[in-house]
């Protein structure tokens, strides 16, 4: 796609050329359409040291080379076109940049004639601009899930976001009030995992931007309120061959899954503790997983590495044949590392015949003590990072250097938290809010 021609055709005046760093922060340059032909070839320049990528001030400039297939015109400002980019430095892709990391895993899976299709369920809260309370004071029911009135009081915003997704061709199909007061979820069609990751990045930007225009604040923070259910980011997964055959489907199996699906799942379960460092990447994340029961009666987040049939109390749920849902991730997860981590663990599962064992049918919120052999999820970010550092699977898939960089930066984050005056306080601290509300 020639972006200059596209700009003329679609009346685009500016392009946002972005990349996403390790912490999931979207970094961009706003580029006038007049020079987009040059930028399409050479990319927009950035100094890597200034963002979460573990680079030094002495490193050469990085360029974010836009992927034209990711182009999205901002529905609320169509004269601006958004482009996801891949980072390059010294004529090579930066192998420790999240979108490149995902691309490399997609390539590895492609060599097996496989591709991952996925959908994500992004939960978020609508809160007051200062972050101290939910936006809608009347949203106080003790079982607020699917509450029609609370949903319709946010109709203007929710419908604007949904209209935008319809226009963009994402195939949105449902919007609801979730399990916590002030919490919502919007679902759109699954697709190839790179497209899902790009849309995931854009969705968060769009929800935050449109909420802001209405004087509200949207947050994807894993656990913004101690007594309320947190923000999850569940993913539905299936692997397909190039002829469009779902390789996870076996109708003769009890849960409708093929041997490939069980191996892939076994790989994810094998690496789950390490993946937690990516899927639950903040100090605040660990107040969501392993959390005590919330006001609504359940946390809806897992605490053990188990799978089940259509039972939401486990880390993996099989809601129907030919796919499974991974329920570990929270709202702070990096959209590219989410998909990349799943593929890396899944490939390991396939190559090493990882066996997920038998499904568990316990209610893990009430009967977890009965699942004696089930591995527990890490209790905090430090433990998760230590699992990630030691993970043979992750180091092999992404290189020791990249894993070390990630662990180093997140460890600095923990250090910063521990230095803060309220690190010993119970509940959700000011430091967490300051550092996580806009994740």
Return d(Cα 306, Cα 266) in angstroms, integer. Answer: 10
Return d(Cα 356, Cα 167) in angstroms, integer. Answer: 41
Q: Which of the ranges 29-37, 181-189, 250-258, 398-406 carries the binding residues for Mg ion, by CB under 5 A?
A: 181-189
CB 97 within 8 A of CB 19: yes
Number of residues that bind Mg ion (CB under 5 A): 1
Q: Shortest approach of Mg ion to residue 179 CB, angstroms?
A: 7
Q: Shortest approach of Mg ion to residue 216 CB, angstroms?
A: 20
Q: What is the DSSP letter of 68?
A: G
CB nearer Mg ion, residue 185 or residue 250? 185
Q: Give me 50's structure tokens.
A: 């200034």
Tell the residue number behind the tokens 């300051």, with chain if given.
434
CB nearer Mg ion, residue 12 or residue 221? 221
Q: Shortest approach of Mg ion to residue 331 CB, angstroms?
A: 11
Return d(Cα 94, Cα 321) in angstroms, integer. Answer: 38
Strand partners, 174: 187
CB nearer Mg ion, residue 6 or residue 185? 185
Q: Shortest approach of Mg ion to residue 186 CB, angstroms?
A: 10
CB nearer Mg ion, residue 37 or residue 176? 176
Interaction residues for Mg ion, span 9-48 (CB under 5 A): none
Return d(Cα 333, Cα 231) in angstroms, integer. Answer: 11
CB nearer Mg ion, residue 312 or residue 433? 312
Q: Which of the ranges 177-185, 282-290, 307-315, 349-357 carries the binding residues for Mg ion, by CB under 5 A?
A: 177-185
CB 32 within 8 A of CB 14: yes
Tell the residue number behind the tokens 């697709």, with chain if given.
191
Q: Shortest approach of Mg ion to residue 43 CB, angstroms?
A: 37
The residue with its CB nearest to Mg ion is 185
Q: Shortest approach of Mg ion to residue 178 CB, angstroms?
A: 5
CB nearer Mg ion, residue 71 or residue 221? 221
CB nearer Mg ion, residue 48 or residue 232? 232
**Binds Mg ion by CB under 5 A, chosen from 54, 67, 185, 250:** 185
Q: Give me 126's structure tokens.
A: 């609508």
CA distances for 329 relative to 276, 306, 342, angstroms: 8, 15, 11
Cα R_g (the chain), whole angstroms: 21
CB nearer Mg ion, residue 185 or residue 413? 185
Q: Shortest approach of Mg ion to residue 231 CB, angstroms?
A: 9
Q: Give me 152's structure tokens.
A: 């319709």
Q: Which of the ranges 85-93, 102-110, 179-187, 352-360 carries the binding residues for Mg ion, by CB under 5 A?
A: 179-187
SS (H, E, C) 127-145: ECCCCCCECCCCCCCCCCC
Q: Shortest approach of Mg ion to residue 329 CB, angstroms?
A: 12
Q: Give me 327's structure tokens.
A: 């329920």
Positions touching Mg ion (CB under 5 A) are 185
């Amino acid at each position: 796609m020639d972006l200059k021609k596209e700009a003329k055709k679609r009346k685009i005046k500016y392009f946002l050329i972005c990349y996403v760093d390790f912490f999931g922060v979207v970094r961009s340059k706003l580029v006038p359409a007049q020079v987009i032909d040059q930028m399409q070839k050479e990319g927009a320049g950035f100094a890597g040291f200034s963002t979460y990528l573990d680079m030094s001030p002495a490193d050469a400039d990085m360029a974010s080379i836009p992927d034209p297939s990711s182009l999205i015109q901002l529905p609320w400002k169509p004269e601006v076109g958004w482009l996801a980019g891949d980072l390059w430095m010294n004529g090579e892709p930066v192998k420790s940049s999240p979108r490149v990391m995902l691309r490399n895993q997609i390539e590895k899976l492609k060599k097996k004639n496989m591709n991952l299709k996925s959908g994500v369920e992004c939960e978020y809260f609508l809160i007051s601009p200062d972050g101290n309370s939910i936006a809608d004071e009347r949203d106080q029911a003790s079982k607020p899930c699917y509450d029609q009135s609370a949903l319709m009081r946010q109709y203007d915003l929710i419908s604007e976001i949904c209209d935008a997704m319809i226009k963009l061709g994402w195939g949105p199909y449902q919007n609801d009030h979730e399990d916590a007061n002030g919490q919502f979820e919007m679902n759109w069609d699954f697709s190839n995992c790179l497209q899902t990751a790009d849309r995931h990045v854009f969705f968060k930007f769009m929800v935050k931007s449109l909420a802001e225009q209405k004087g509200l604040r949207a947050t994807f923070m894993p656990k913004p309120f101690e007594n309320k259910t947190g923000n999850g980011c569940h993913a539905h997964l299936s692997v397909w061959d190039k002829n469009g055959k779902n390789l996870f489907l076996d109708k003769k199996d009890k849960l409708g899954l093929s041997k490939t699906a069980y191996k892939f799942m076994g790989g994810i379960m094998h690496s789950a503790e390490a993946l937690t460092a990516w899927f639950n990447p903040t100090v605040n994340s660990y107040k969501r997983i392993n959390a005590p029961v919330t006001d609504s009666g359940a946390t809806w987040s897992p605490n053990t590495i188990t799978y089940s049939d259509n039972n939401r109390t486990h880390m993996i749920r099989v809601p129907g044949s030919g796919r499974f849902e991974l329920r570990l991730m929270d709202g702070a997860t990096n959209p590219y590392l989410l998909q990349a981590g799943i593929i890396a663990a899944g490939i390991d599962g396939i190559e090493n015949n990882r066996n997920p064992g038998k499904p568990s049918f316990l209610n893990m919120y009430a009967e977890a003590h009965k699942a004696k052999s089930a591995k527990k999820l890490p209790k905090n970010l430090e433990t998760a990072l230590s699992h990630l550092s030691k993970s043979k699977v992750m180091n092999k898939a992404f290189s020791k250097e990249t894993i070390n960089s990630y662990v180093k930066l997140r460890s600095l984050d923990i250090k910063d938290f521990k230095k803060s005056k309220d690190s010993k306080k119970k509940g959700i601290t000011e430091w967490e809010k300051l550092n996580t509300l806009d994740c």
